[in-house]
Chains A and B, each alone.
Chain A
């Protein structure tokens, strides 16, 4: 109910917000979808990945390269992007899940760095650091121009709705409840007869695929595909958004992304050292609300919050 309320609010915002915030919110919704994907693995399964930029970029480049070099339309490009994310995350999961804890963080980080360097290395096709602007033909889906602010907002909302409702369904399904149990106490779950490794693998592929969908849509809506999105910064960001918003809550990723986005936006209006403001607020939040914004809400006000 709460979640449908948020979606309704976002739909209402489409008609009410001034252009500047309207554009921002479209961006926030796509990034929040990425955060939702990250939350599936980090918040619900308890696996801290430092390499999610690889999956985000797999989606973005799968889509972008398909449109740019294979001449695909927007729909086929999106499918190729999401498919790339599924394949890449399955490969990384198969190897990285042999480790856990700090080793898992390092292995995922290394894979993401390898992906980032590969994008730079194959500059002839990827245009490396500089990136490329997506052709207009690749930004028209079913006759809708996705580069126009109105359709762009609604497309971002559509992506966010799908990711939010999927997350919610997954978390409430038996599969999601087993994931939470794995996060709480893996050994016990194993001794109840569950193949915890298979569950983690599935969670990582689901998370990677959702991140790829966000990456593909991001590239398509904002018309640009670049190596920055594969850099380590884009692996850290979803972690921050989820931590701020509240790991293991369905709404947390959106709240965290929105909060961080406007923190930087408003901070950069005040000073060029806006990351300093962001840093101070982050430190404050981790000190006083270690479970994130929605985590605090759950702890203080509403224990049953999903």
Chain B
């Protein structure tokens, strides 16, 4: 049973087709990576899944329910969470307040403080709860972003380039965190770091030019010639 199904999703920007008839199925509990060269349409695709961008055509189905017409905030309440590619924490508020905002949709009252602490502990920021988020180092802001995603207790967690700008040590911690979540949460991961993708993803979807180029397990994708031509041999070869 797939938690998320996308059918024929298409988006045109002034004649430019950013995403072109994409079909995608995510099984519950799966960790799926979405990769592709810059401009492949990855962020537009997840933007349509999360409700940030309205599709020109196509459908998004979450757990059997057609959510194509629901606004973003209603989708989040149905169990989605989205972490931003560009760090998007509330820089003027404290770390705890950031997570509090994320958790409050789900829990009220006494459990709330507990939920905030738990989410912060999970990413290792429990000692920084009272700091102003804007004063955190970049890597810590990324972790805070993830803690906010976790505090929402989503069924589907969309992570848009979560390791961008993280140090080696932080990436290792992030990988441990995602492994820890696997099975519990369905994760859709947009990622440029191929080592992270190969280590974490159960399946990989490759996009290029707005379409799905290939889909398969990490070894299958690694061996796929079309992918090598379009992606691994392209501008991003240096990333591998």
Residues of A within 8 A of B (CB): 174, 177-178, 180-181, 184-185, 187-196
Contact = CB atoms under 8 A, between A and B. Distances in A.
Contacts of A191: 50, 52, 72-73, 76, 81-82, 84
Contact of A174 (B72, B89, B93, B104): B104
Nearest to A189: B101
Interface in B83-100: 84, 88-93, 97, 100
A184 B91 contact: yes
Contacts of B76: 190-193
B62 to A, nearest CB: 14
B73 A181 contact: no
Interface string B144-170: 000010001000000000000000000
Interface of B: 50, 52, 71-74, 76-77, 81-82, 84, 88-93, 97, 100-102, 104-105, 148, 152
A193 B91 CA distance: 19
A195 B75 CA distance: 11
Contacts of A196: 73
Contacts of B72: 190-191
B105 to A, nearest CB: 4
A192 B88 contact: no
Contact of A187 (B88, B102, B104): B88
Contacts of A185: 88, 90
B73 A193 contact: yes
A190 B93 contact: no
B95 to A, nearest CB: 14
A181 B90 contact: yes
B130 to A, nearest CB: 11
A184 B73 contact: no
B101 A181 contact: yes
Contact of A178 (B52, B91, B92, B101): B101
25 contacts: A177-B101, A178-B101, A180-B92, A181-B93, A185-B88, A188-B84, A188-B88, A188-B89, A188-B90, A189-B101, A190-B73, A190-B76, A191-B50, A191-B52, A191-B72, A191-B73, A191-B81, A191-B82, A192-B73, A192-B105, A192-B148, A193-B76, A193-B105, A194-B73, A195-B71
A194 B152 CA distance: 12
Nearest to A174: B104
Contacts of A188: 84, 88-90
Nearest to A191: B82
B90 A193 contact: no
Contacts of B82: 191
A178 B89 CA distance: 14
A191 B92 CA distance: 18
Given A191-B73, A192-B105, A194-B73, 9 more contacts: A174-B104, A180-B93, A181-B93, A185-B90, A188-B88, A191-B81, A192-B102, A192-B148, A193-B76
A185 B105 CA distance: 17
The 3 A-B residue pairs with the shortest CB-CB distance in the complex, in nearest-first order: A193-B76, A193-B105, A184-B90
Nearest to B100: A177
A17 B100 CA distance: 46
B174 to A, nearest CB: 20
Nearest to B91: A184
A196 B76 CA distance: 13
Contacts of A194: 73, 105
